[in-house]
Amino acid sequence: MQRNLAALTILLLIGTVVSRAVMMKRRGIEVMHFGKLDKTDYFIPPFVLFYFYTIFAAAFNFPILSKQVFFQSESIAWAGLIFCLGGLLILIWSIISFGDSFRVGIDTGQPAELITIGVFTISRNPIYVGFWFFMLGQFLVFPNWILLIYIGAATWLFHRQVLREEEFLMDHFGEEFTAYCKQVRRYL
């Protein structure tokens, strides 16, 4: 049951982001800025699709690259599902806190205001924290080496993107962003 529910959380995660992007697009706000500053970002989507396939293959017994697992524990799988749901809730809270400033990628053309309310009073990068918790939860439900590698790669990619975004925010907001950084941690 945990495996099916964990796979369902991926659909909820994708649905949350896509529905918010569509709602904002209808109001004339361009959300998708992925890959506009760094074309190497386009290497990421095939790996994301493989990640999704790996989860669904493990959940529904499709052909999979590796069936090797590190452990089998129902209680750890339930804990993993809680991490998935917690990560999803952090993501949803982040999108709500963002309001009209939500973007995928860095919007240099029409940067929004600096958001320091809601979940952004706890973390400067709650979306990445939510995604990381989500991926950790997926690994606890489906404990194989592929997902472990994905957690390591995602940690590096998230941090890389955070540094890029912080550089942009520093250039754009200056002292206001510096003061915010002194009050709120980068992650947790």
Torsion of CA 88, 166, 110, 108, to 10 degrees: -120
- Could you name the CATH architecture of 2-183? Up-down Bundle (1.20)
Residues 163-174: tens digit of each pLDDT: 999 999 999 999
Tell me which long-range contacts 143-146 makes (C-beta under 8 A, separation of at least 24): 143/69, 143/70, 143/71, 143/72, 143/76, 144/54, 144/58, 144/66, 144/67, 144/68, 144/69, 144/70, 145/66, 145/68, 145/70, 146/54, 146/65, 146/66
Closest CA to 13 of 71, 125, 92: 92
pLDDT of residue 126: 97
Percentage of the chain modeled with pLDDT above 90: 78
Measure the CA–CA gap between 112 and 59, rounded to whole angstroms: 39
Centroid of chain to Cα 184 = 19
Kindly state the average pLDDT of the residues 150-160: 95
Over residues 128-154, the mean pLDDT reads 96
Going by C-beta distance under 8 Å and a sequence separation of 6 or more, which residues neighbour residue 176? 114
Give the residue extent of every domain in the chain. 2-183
**Band of the pLDDT at 111, cuts 50, 70, 90?**
low
User: pLDDT tens-digit profile of 14-23?
Assistant: 999 999 999 9
The enclosing H or E element of 184 equals none
